[in-house]
Amino acid sequence: MHILINIAAIFFLAMGLIFFLGGAVGIIRMPDFYSRLHPAGKLDTLGIFAMVLGLVIYNLHHFSIEVLLLSIKMFLIVFFVFLASPTATHSIVDAGMRAGLRPWTRKTKKE
């Protein structure tokens, strides 16, 4: 049983790390403000979800009510990040559009 829990935890942690790595590369490589926000928003949702899921599974090794409560609290973090992070991304994009920042296109770069 323990080995199964370990395998699942490692799987989700590795998945989260892959998403974080991809997001970090994306933030550096993307050409402009809006497209950089795209990987940054992905990081906070799927990356954190996978990482915390891995930690929750690892935490359930010695099952008891307190441990379950701790796991639920950890999942609450994911829930609130899921609410707050896309809203933050949305408001940043909104502010950028209102301030008059034009999205990047290939054509404008050549000029």
Q: Check residue 80 for interaction with another protein (CB under 8 A).
A: yes
Is 73 an interacting residue with respect to another protein (CB under 8 A)?
Answer: no
- Measured from the CB of residue 13, what is the shortest distance to another protein in angstroms? 24
Q: Given CA atoms 38, 41, 45, 46 in this order, what sign does their dihedral have? A: positive
Tokens representing 60 are 């359930």
Count of residues that bind another protein according to CB under 8 A? 8
Shortest distance in whole angstroms from residue 28 CB to another protein: 28
Per-residue DSSP letters for 61-94?
A: TS--HHHHHHHHHHHHHHHHHHHHHHHHHHHHHH
Go through the chain and tell me how many residues it has: 111
Nearer to another protein, 6 or 87 (CB): 87
Determine if 87 is a binding residue for another protein (CB under 8 A). Answer: yes
Q: Residue 111 burial (CB < 10 Å; 0-12/13-18/19+)?
A: exposed
Contact between 84 and another protein per CB under 8 A: yes
User: Quick check: 97 binds another protein (CB under 8 A)?
Assistant: no
Q: Give the binding site for another protein (CB under 8 A).
A: 80, 83-84, 87, 90-91, 94, 98
